[in-house]
Structure 1
Amino acid sequence: MEIIKGAGAWAPPQAGDWTEHLRTPDLSVGTYCIPAGGADGQSPHTEDEIYVVTAGRARIVTPGAAAEVGPGAVIFVPAGEEHRFTDVTEDLALLVVFGPAYGSRGA
């Protein structure tokens, strides 16, 4: 067992905006933060992904749908699907889980 301290907590974004807290071959867990008014510059990932909104408000947009999200929202994005957080009205903090681990499938 391991307690993952700080996962999902708001912190001013650093280079890359993503902080990985835990990595095993089958999954990785981290935090992704976007400040209010900020832009989400991510590209589609090669792994399935779950976001849990821990703070803030925004809109998530994919080619097939869009939705307003806030604290408690849980979002599943399948591998390869384009997605972006837009209209970030409050500092957005996301607990992110990748399966398998982020980047492990290559491009």
Structure 2
Amino acid sequence: MNIVIENNPSSRRLSDLGVMSWPKWSCQPGKYALVFEERETCYLVKGKVKVYLKGSSEFVEFGAGDLVTIPKGLSCTWDVSLFIDKHYKFDPPTSP
């Protein structure tokens, strides 16, 4: 699935990345079909989610305290079990 999860990164790592200055996004528990048009890096402040690859029963699970990188082009379903509150950033598009 190529989702990279860094469990409980240090406060120094988060500071070096500037995570707390990134925009925030949140959602209630439920299922959400998502397509990632750009690579996203996010840090979950709260919550828990299982991410299923489109058309698959395979999943990865992550939650509060995890730094996650989601590859560009991933089509998936987020099955959110606990309210999500996260900081996120998208990689800038590459020039042709």
Alignment of 1:1-107 (within 5 A): 29-36=22-29, 38-45=30-37, 47-62=38-53, 65-86=58-79, 88-100=80-92
What is the root-mean-square deviation in Å for CA atoms of aligned residues?
2.6
SS of residue in 2 equivalent to 1:79 = coil
Q: How many percent of aligned residue pairs carry the same amino acid?
A: 16
Q: Indicate the structure whose relative CO is greater, using CA pairs within 8 Å and at least 6 residues apart.
A: 2
Could you state the TM-score of these two structures normalised by the residue count of structure 2?
A: 0.60
Q: When the two structures are superposed, what TM-score results if normalisation uses the length of structure 1?
A: 0.55
Aligned residues: 74
Q: Output the CA distance in 2 between the equivalents of 1:42 and 1:89.
A: 16
The farther-off stretch of 75-84 and 64-73 is 64-73
Higher normalized helix content (fraction of residues): 2
Shift in Å, 1:39: 2.8
Q: Residues 62, 41 of structure 1: CA spacing in aligned structure 2 closer, same or farther, 3 A cutoff? A: closer
Contact preservation (8 Å) 2:42, 2:68: yes
Q: Is the 8 A contact 1:56 1:71 kept in 2?
A: yes
The 2-side partners of 1:98 and 1:39 are apart by 22
User: What displacement does 1:42 show?
Assistant: 2.7
